[in-house]
Structures are given as C-alpha cells and as structure tokens.
C-alpha cells in the first residue's frame, strides 16, 4: 500500500492501489499501470509518450489533475532553490520526471565534453537546480571570468541584432519599446537552439492573436461607453512626409482608446467633410453613447460643430483647451518684451513645470 504522504496526492482520488506497490488501477477505464501514482496522473491527463490517455476520464477532472501537476512543481520550494546533488530528496525524482515530461523538449546544438566526445545538450528539470556550464574556454576562471564571458556573449548578440536592424531598415528607437525588453528576456529564457519565427507566424498567426487582444480591450471600453457615455477626440496633424492625418480617439472613465485615423491629404477638410466625419464616427459608436466631440478650433471645425449640434442636440462640440491655450501663448510671445528668446524660454519652462496648470487643461 502507498504511504500516508503519497495518499494525499490527487491521483489517489481517481485510482486504487494495484497488486504491486508500483501499480495503480484507474477508476474510470479500469486499466492498471505500473510506474506509481505519477504514471496514473499522466494516464488521466494524456499527451505523454510512455502511457496511453484515459478516454473515460471527464474533461473537468483531466484539467484538475493537469493543474495539480503544474502547481506541485511551481509551489514546491525544493524546485526553486539550487541544492547540492547529495541533498536532493530521492522522492522528488518522481516529481522531476513528471515535470520534465510536461514540458516540451528543448534541443540545443551539440557541445564537446572535456573528453572530446560530442553529446546533445537538452534542458530538463536539473537545469532548475544547477547553473549551466559555459561552453567558452576560460569562461569560469577566477578574477571576473564569468563577467568577461557575459560581456563577450552580449557583444556578439548586440552585433548580430544591430546587423539585422540595418538589413531590415528598422528605426533605431525600436529598442526603446517596452515590448523589446520582454522579447530579449524570453529569448534568453529559451536558451540556445531557438528556431526563429517564420514569415507565416508573424504575418498571420501572431498578428491574429494580437488583433484579438486589442479587440477585447476595445470591447471593455465599449461597455464603459454604454454606461457612462464618452467623448470623441479628433487630432489633426501633418506628418513629416506632408500627409495630413486625423486621429480619432474615444475617451471614457476607463481611459482613451484609438479608434482609427483618416488620411486627409488628397482632399480639403472643409466644414461639410468634417461634419460627415463627425456623423460617421457618432453613428459608429452610437449617438446615445456620445456626450461631446473635441477638436481644435479651426474655422471648418467650428462650423461643422454647429451643424453637428443641430443634428444631434444632446451632443456638444467643444474646442480643445490645450490647443486654444497654445495659440494664446503663441500670440503673447509675439508681443514685446515677451518676444525675447530668453523671456520666452523662461516663461515656457515655468508654465510646463506647474503641475496644477497642466492638469487644468
């Protein structure tokens, strides 16, 4: 019979002790497996090469056992602290095998051992206990050898990445994105031998996943629009290539979300066209959910705003306060003595350093 500590394992809820110490009978399909309770749990979960999946096990129980197997490793301090080999509890070997088989194998290039023979390095549960040995000669010498090796490896990685950036024509500031840091960290966690993403993965598979994530975020905002109403904000600006772009954002208590943009380079943005843009955006969101439309106070926007308030009496057109104040400062700094460069700079620095003034518009 299994001892009391092993009887606490969730696997015994769905199996009974077999004729031998290492055999377990499945409560669902009646099959008997050698290999202890771990083999029985693998039988319930499925997907393991050394045991057939139980087809009679309910899906809810299968997920329960799967979560138990994963949490057992995650929450066990023995698997989080590196221990000398002689102090590892022999009972944990079963759990380490369980963990290793749950994780997909990670193949790495062949490395030469000290004896000159080649062997394939493969990540397993023991990598959680002991640091990997450097494949570079002298990498672990005394006197800062580890740090020196890391510097060399980092220099190689940065050089290879920079060359790829130049070939792909990526802007230099792409390395300042927060997502780039996460990318570097996850590649490092994978270790050697990672296959690069394919054209199809980045163009189709993961692009669809990111679109779905963004759509879920927008759906969360739409719930707030229905409950509390929202403000439509339109920002007109000219890009470096001369294109005139109108960005459309929607603000609510949960925050602002980008709704879309309009390329207005090839046509004049008169009041009629701006009104049509107001109208199409309102209908897209739902007139009952819109409180106001905020734009700059250009003449075509003022007239389009009046037309919009006539068609939708409950919706207000509001000029952007920040834009108005910037225009006011522009006129003020044209007048002496504020036209002086030093006074203008001091005044600007003073205004932008006042937190209460900034949040007021």
Q: How does strand 15-17 pair with strand 23-26?
A: antiparallel
CB distance 17 to 40 below 8 Å? no
Please give the average per-residue pLDDT across 176-200, as a whole number. 91
Residues 142 and 144: their CA atoms lie apart, in Å, by 6
Tokens 């993961």 belong to 206
279 and 353 assigned to the same domain:
no
Say if CB 220 and CB 229 are below 8 A apart.
no
Q: For residue 28, is pLDDT > 80?
A: yes
What is the DSSP annotation of 98-109?
A: HHHHHSPP-EEE
- Please indicate, yes or no, whether residues 172 and 219 belong to a single structural domain of this protein: no
DSSP tag of 360: T
For residues 96 and 222, the model is more confident at 222
DSSP conformation letters of 148-210: HHHHHHHHHHHHHHHHHHHHHT--GGGGGSHHHHHHHHHHHHH-TTPPPPPHHIIIIIHHHHH
Q: What is the pTM of this model?
A: 0.51
Burial 156-185 (b: 16+ CB within 10 A, else e): eeeeeeeeeeeeeeeeeeeeeeeeeeeeee
Instruction: Count Cβ atoms within 10 A of the Cβ of residue 296 and give its class: 0-12 exposed, 13-18 middle, 19 or more buried.
Output: middle
Q: Is residue 132 domain-resident?
A: no
Lowest-pLDDT choice from 41-50, 90-99, 167-176, 309-318: 90-99
Query: Does any domain span residue 121?
Result: no
- Asked if residue 263 belongs to a domain, the reply is yes
Intra-chain end-to-end CA distance of the chain, in Å: 74
Which pLDDT score, from 0 to 100, does residue 80 have?
53
Residues 315 and 326 occupy one common structural domain: no
82 backbone φψ class: left, alpha, beta (φ>0; ψ -120 to 50): beta
- Model confidence at 124, pLDDT cuts 50, 70, 90, reads low
pLDDT band at 357 (very low <50, low <70, confident <90, very high): low
**308 and 332, same domain (yes or no):** no
Say yes or no: 314 and 331 in one domain. Answer: no
Mean pLDDT of 112-128: 45
The Cα-based distances of 82 to 71, 140, 243 in angstroms read 19, 18, 58
3-state class of 319 per DSSP? strand
- Are 237 and 283 in the same domain? yes
- Both 240 and 332 in a single domain? no
**312/344 same-domain check:** no
Task: Select from 129, 123, 36, 41 the least CA-distant residue to 78.
Answer: 129
Instruction: Give pLDDT, residue 333.
Output: 72
Residues 312 and 353 in one domain: no
Do 325 and 312 lie in one domain? The reply is no
Averaged pLDDT, 260-287: 88
Q: Which residue in 254, 248, 219 sits closest to 234, CA to CA?
A: 248
The CATH number covering residue 225 comes to 3.30.420.10
In this predicted model, what pLDDT tens digit does every residue of 280-292 receive, in sequence order?
A: 999 999 999 999 9
205 part of a folded domain = no
Backbone torsions φ then ψ of 357, nearest 5 degrees: -70, -40
Mean pLDDT score, 3-7: 54
Query: What 8-state DSSP symbol labels residue 355?
Result: H
Domain that holds residue 355: 321-361
Same domain, 335 and 261: no
pLDDT, average across residues 219-225: 93
Asked if the structure places residue 108 within a domain, the reply is no
CB atoms within 10 A of CB 101: 19
pLDDT, mean of residues 42-57: 88
Q: How far is CA 260 from CA 88, 221, 251, in A?
A: 58, 15, 13
265 and 349 assigned to the same domain: no
| Number of independent structural domains in the chain | 4
């Amino acid at each position: 019979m299994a001892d009391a500590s092993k009887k606490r394992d969730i696997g015994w809820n769905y199996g009974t002790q077999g004729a031998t110490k290492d055999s377990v009978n499945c409560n669902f399909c009646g099959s008997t497996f050698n290999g202890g309770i771990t083999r029985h749990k693998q039988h319930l979960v499925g997907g393991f090469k050394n045991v057939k999946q139980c087809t009679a096990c309910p899906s809810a129980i299968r997920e329960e056992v799967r979560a138990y197997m994963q949490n057992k490793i995650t929450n066990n301090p023995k698997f989080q602290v590196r221990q000398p080999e002689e102090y590892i509890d022999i009972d944990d070997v079963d759990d380490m095998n369980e963990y290793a088989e749950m994780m997909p194998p990670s193949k790495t290039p062949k490395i030469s051992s000290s004896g000159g023979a080649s062997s394939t390095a493969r990540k397993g549960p023991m990598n959680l206990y002991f640091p990997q040995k450097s494949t570079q000669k002298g990498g672990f010498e005394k006197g800062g050898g580890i740090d020196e090796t890391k510097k060399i490896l980092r220099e190689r990685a940065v050089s290879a990445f920079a060359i790829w950036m130049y070939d792909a024509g990526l802007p230099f500031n792409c390395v300042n994105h927060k997502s780039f840091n996460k990318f570097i960290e996850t590649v490092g966690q994978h270790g050697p031998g990672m296959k690069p993403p394919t054209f199809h993965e980045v163009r189709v598979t993961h692009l669809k996943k990111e679109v779905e994530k963004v759509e879920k975020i927008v759906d969360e905002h739409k719930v707030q629009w229905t409950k509390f109403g929202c403000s439509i904000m339109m920002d007109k600006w000219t890009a470096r290539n001369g294109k005139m772009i109108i960005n459309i954002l929607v603000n609510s208590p949960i925050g602002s979300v980008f709704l879309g943009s309009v390329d207005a380079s090839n046509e004049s943005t008169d009041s009629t066209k701006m009104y049509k843009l107001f109208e199409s955006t309102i209908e897209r969101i739902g007139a009952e959910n819109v409180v106001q439309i905020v734009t700059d106070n250009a003449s075509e926007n003022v007239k389009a705003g009046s037309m919009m308030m006539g068609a939708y009496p409950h919706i207000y057109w509001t000029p952007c306060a920040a834009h108005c104040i910037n225009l006011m400062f522009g006129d003020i700094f044209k007048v002496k003595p504020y036209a002086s460069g030093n006074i203008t700079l001091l005044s600007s620095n003073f205004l932008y350093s006042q937190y209460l003034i900034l949040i007021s518009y």
